[in-house]
Structure 1
């Protein structure tokens, strides 16, 4: 296979973009050109259209793959070197238009939308300019490794086809087959980038490669049998009464094309394995310090250094443990460090779930019980309420070994695709009644699923673009909000679970920077969590592996959380008796997912609107 190198492709794209920018109608050189409302709406619409054409899966996840975007229903994004170069070229062209425009005459909401796009594209282009990696444009997951234990089409595509590709008509089923037929080319596009990165000296840690090979082998075995890729299509067409030879057609693609493409990626990982070391951090990779610096900026939307983040984590952890100590004493746990006592609490039979499938059923029921409790309290925290359209689902078993304990996000704006709270149930020991309520608040309500639904009231591009520090900062603020609304008033062990969760995110600041900037080993990272915070070693082993493959991402949580809390304190000080929690929370969620500096502008607008001085 002959493919452009990443550098060659980006260079070619850059020259193409320069020509396109010069030819953009109406461009004014030597100064910024004011934008009117109608022209701005057209510009936002054009940017949205281009974004969706580079990300056709996003069109389906938001259920807008119809009408003008109907052709996207049968497409997958291009993950090849050339496809990534074209993507970067499109971003650069749109950014040039935004940088040449004057937003001053526009309303605050429209200016915010344009600033969000501009910030997203600038950060992404910095990532594309690096010699390797997978850049999340308007997303939370940047990674130096295109395919690894928690990243890659082998995980993304089957899950996406099963959950977000709706099948209601024959055309939808044909689009599924079309996407399935493109899946092998997507895998081979990734393969070319894996090989290009390895040629530059980038080889993942050996322990991550081992995990990825194990998981991908399961995916390849499943595809070789037809498995889930076929079953999902056959089951849903049968349920909808859509007659067709779906089994034979999908099985031929899965067994004859997808399985061999997966085996090619496995072969490449095995080829790289003898070159791999167990050095966990980016410091050990070529250009790793520069990559980590960018990854931290992308994740936190700040210019904080690794050392500043490391020290913030340590001080935050000490403050949280000081709050946890009296609660532990209240439960009769007075001896040992906070971490040791939290470990004792975690194995207390009163808070454990049963083993196996009976315990999995208990976990699902307990999640629904706790979600019902918080839903009743939300009118005290928001003036504007959304539905909280939610489905709790178990992660696919083949994904569970390399996945975190849970994750979640909103569904489609029209409600046809519910938000998801994905829960890892490979063993019930991952979860306890102490920690699970808080996890539900973070991932679902009033966390990711709840917050994401507010973006549905904004232009579509605002639903598509997100910032890690805001998304995860809000989810931690949602945990705090649940506690402030009293859901743990009669459940002190649950309040300890909440405080331990925030402390867990403080540990992330320490461990992520420890791994990537201070040359910590994987074992040091796991040990810090277990000893200092009493974390579950089963959970944190996968967590630390995640930090190795997603450098910087884990730092966005507590940095974003603290930024939101500071803005709330600012509003309280400025408004005094006029301050109302419902108004503040509305200002944060209705302003949409933004970088931290834009959040400050949105809160300032809210303060002025209430008669305060921002």
Structure 2
């Protein structure tokens, strides 16, 4: 799934270079009738002249924009000057960033690419893909939606408490960020209010229970994650330092941070959620039809209409359903498909009794997966990974598992396992989930991506969903060759996961373009997969609030499988699975068009080598 973008995330999100404080924060909290246009710079600045720049200059400029407006990323990559800053999400700053990216995009489009090397042609294609998306998101006012059905900015920003603090200066930077949180919350609340005014909100039905993700932070100061750094100092700190910093930390968390969550809770429950839009379809938002098609193309990276995606999904559902029926026959279950699903969802033998049991099962499978890697990959990453539960404060509405990478050399990546509602976390799905989220799935792919030091940073720290999620789903399939899924119920779990991704093509397009209701989507997913009903409803709400992203998995996986079939057919006995996988991963996260280009080159290179 989407990599946690709590994500120090690999994806380059819309963030800012310094925090706005003081009177400007009051403006954001108060006068919501002012629109973002009235706060922008004079209109004539929107017509900045397109410069004749080299590709290297454009690449460097684009990366600098990311660093300028994302202080947390800049700091994680070594810029100490950003250590105490949070993102500036003011209308002026977001408009300024958009103008810079828009101007750079125009320069890139006008660049003569005919004389570029193969590598630079790919760089140009991928940078245009990224810049175009940033411009599109601003145009479609994605910044009005800093929350989804799963969670939101209020939970993601809490990760600032996880930054290692080793010196008194580190603690001061952390205190500065805590003091900046009121302005940060004010800005995000401003955008939520703009969304309410303009009809750009998550669907109201997906926000049921959302307030629980806020109230999880409304605790006594000693129980707050924000206060935790003041309870565990490095050994070299003196008692005087500890006493002083503890007093400062308790004061700011008590007087500034915790009240923010109560205020946000009140705003969401009293104002925002009651006025959220009742339609679930993206097409019903302002300019929603164009927005959804834009998301289809962005997340799949191929030229397909929503209807074409829908029809492909129906075909895949039929194919996978036949394989599932065969497993049911193999285990000699006497009953219908629906009765078999009910059996899987309700029989205690398939569910862990404790969170520790679930985590140990994930760890055992992950260790087995580690052992098969040398057989299938010639190149492996140096970065290790760990396993831990999804944070309790976001777990109730969170997906079943996810990978969270790190931008730091001294930190591992993590495979997150949701231990909330254990009677909804079937063990027969754990092999597929682990192969997808850990290895050979996201950890392997993302870690190798970051270790490609010959690539420009905008590629090393990017994530293209069709590639990454397609790879994750292909990794589940690869488990068949590697000897996983020996238990027929686990194999049914694998098929359930594949069916889950195929059904996404149907329900996502159905809800956002074909008038499907939420209940219709839930029924379709529930009647075709063995996912627990809790997971089904959580996932459907995710697709409603995150249009198009769910399409990337199956489109990417089908492309990778097709390219593998092509390479095996053309190379015959000379096909080497280890070299093929390296060829897929050695260029980092790419579009499906570029991936096909690289596989074609791989085939020709292998033919030449053999001849």
Q: Which residue of 1 aligns with 2:245?
A: 246
Alpha-carbon spacing, 1:476–1:240, altered in 2? closer, same or farther (3 Å): farther
Q: Is structure 2 residue 357 aligned with structure 1 residue 347?
A: no
For residue 465 of structure 1, the aligned residue among 462, 466, 482 is 462
- How far apart, in 1, do the equivalents of 2:572 and 2:377 lie? 19
Q: Is structure 2 residue 253 aligned with structure 1 residue 258?
A: no
Deviations for 1:119-138, whole angstroms, at most 9, x for unmatched residues?
111122122112x323xxxx
- How far apart, in 1, do the equivalents of 2:604 and 2:581 lie? 16
- How far apart, in 2, do the equivalents of 1:463 and 1:58 lie? 13
RMSD: 2.5
**1:106: Cα distance to partner?**
4.2
Q: Give the secondary structure class of the aligned counterpart of 1:435.
A: helix
**1:45: Cα distance to partner?**
3.7
Matches within 5 A, 1:536-555: 536-555=532-551
Matches within 5 A, 1:112-511: 112-130=122-140, 132-134=141-143, 145-158=145-158, 160-163=159-162, 165-219=163-217, 221-222=218-219, 225=221, 227-238=223-234, 241=237, 243-244=241-242, 245-269=244-268, 270-276=270-276, 278-337=278-337, 339-354=338-353, 359-387=354-382, 389-412=384-407, 414=409, 416-456=410-450, 457=452, 458-488=455-485, 490-511=486-507
Q: Give the secondary structure class of the aligned counterpart of 1:610.
A: helix
Q: Which residue of 2 aligns with 1:141?
A: none
Check the 8 A contact 1:571/1:603 in 2, yes or no. yes
TM-score (norm: length of structure 2): 0.87
Q: Which residue of 1 aligns with 2:31?
A: none
Alpha-carbon spacing, 1:264–1:9, altered in 2? closer, same or farther (3 Å): same
Q: Is structure 2 residue 52 aligned with structure 1 residue 44?
A: no
- How far apart, in 2, do the equivalents of 1:611 and 1:170 lie? 60
- How far apart, in 1, do the equivalents of 2:222 and 2:91 lie? 29
**1:105: Cα distance to partner?**
4.2
- How far apart, in 1, do the equivalents of 2:192 and 2:119 lie? 41
Q: Which residue of 1 aligns with 2:18?
A: none
**1:554: Cα distance to partner?**
0.9
**1:557: Cα distance to partner?**
0.9
- How far apart, in 2, do the equivalents of 1:516 and 1:560 lie? 21
**1:539: Cα distance to partner?**
0.9
**1:476: Cα distance to partner?**
0.4
- How far apart, in 1, do the equivalents of 2:458 and 2:362 lie? 32
TM-score (norm: length of structure 1): 0.87
Q: Give the secondary structure class of the aligned counterpart of 2:279.
A: coil
Q: Give the secondary structure class of the aligned counterpart of 2:414.
A: strand
For residue 530 of structure 1, the aligned residue among 512, 526, 547 is 526
Alpha-carbon spacing, 1:460–1:413, altered in 2? closer, same or farther (3 Å): farther
- How far apart, in 2, do the equivalents of 1:151 and 1:91 lie? 28
Check the 8 A contact 2:199/2:277 in 1, yes or no. no
Deviates more, 1:296-305 or 1:187-196: 296-305
Q: Give the secondary structure class of the aligned counterpart of 1:420.
A: strand
- How far apart, in 2, do the equivalents of 1:497 and 1:14 lie? 55
**1:104: Cα distance to partner?**
4.3
Check the 8 A contact 2:406/2:413 in 1, yes or no. yes
- How far apart, in 2, do the equivalents of 1:57 and 1:342 lie? 45
**1:240: Cα distance to partner?**
6.5
Deviations for 1:35-78, whole angstroms, at most 9, x for unmatched residues?
5xxxx2x5534432321221222345xx41x2xx2212222222
Check the 8 A contact 1:80/1:193 in 2, yes or no. no
- How far apart, in 1, do the equivalents of 2:207 and 2:421 lie? 22
- How far apart, in 2, do the equivalents of 1:585 and 1:17 lie? 45
- How far apart, in 2, do the equivalents of 1:257 and 1:204 lie? 28
Deviations for 1:364-410, whole angstroms, at most 9, x for unmatched residues?
11111101111111112111112451121212211112211111133
Check the 8 A contact 1:216/1:266 in 2, yes or no. yes
- How far apart, in 1, do the equivalents of 2:303 and 2:548 lie? 12
- How far apart, in 1, do the equivalents of 2:236 and 2:582 lie? 40
- How far apart, in 1, do the equivalents of 2:185 and 2:425 lie? 34
**1:267: Cα distance to partner?**
3.7
- How far apart, in 2, do the equivalents of 1:595 and 1:101 lie? 20
- How far apart, in 2, do the equivalents of 1:500 and 1:179 lie? 44
**1:178: Cα distance to partner?**
2.0
**1:13: Cα distance to partner?**
8.2
Which runs of 5 or more residues in structure 1 are unaligned?
135-143
Check the 8 A contact 1:476/1:502 in 2, yes or no. yes
Q: Give the secondary structure class of the aligned counterpart of 1:74.
A: coil
For residue 513 of structure 1, the aligned residue among 509, 512, 523 is 509
Alpha-carbon spacing, 1:73–1:258, altered in 2? closer, same or farther (3 Å): same
Check the 8 A contact 1:393/1:422 in 2, yes or no. yes
For residue 561 of structure 1, the aligned residue among 535, 538, 557 is 557
Alpha-carbon spacing, 1:529–1:418, altered in 2? closer, same or farther (3 Å): same
**1:115: Cα distance to partner?**
2.0
Check the 8 A contact 1:80/1:188 in 2, yes or no. no
Check the 8 A contact 1:409/1:444 in 2, yes or no. no
Deviations for 1:344-381, whole angstroms, at most 9, x for unmatched residues?
23433332211xxxx10001111111011111111121
Alpha-carbon spacing, 1:114–1:343, altered in 2? closer, same or farther (3 Å): farther
Alpha-carbon spacing, 1:232–1:48, altered in 2? closer, same or farther (3 Å): farther
Deviations for 1:410-442, whole angstroms, at most 9, x for unmatched residues?
32362x121111222111123222001211111
- How far apart, in 1, do the equivalents of 2:566 and 2:44 lie? 46
Check the 8 A contact 2:405/2:446 in 1, yes or no. yes
Which runs of 5 or more residues in structure 2 are unaligned?
1-25, 29-33
Alpha-carbon spacing, 1:85–1:569, altered in 2? closer, same or farther (3 Å): same
Deviates more, 1:472-481 or 1:450-459: 450-459
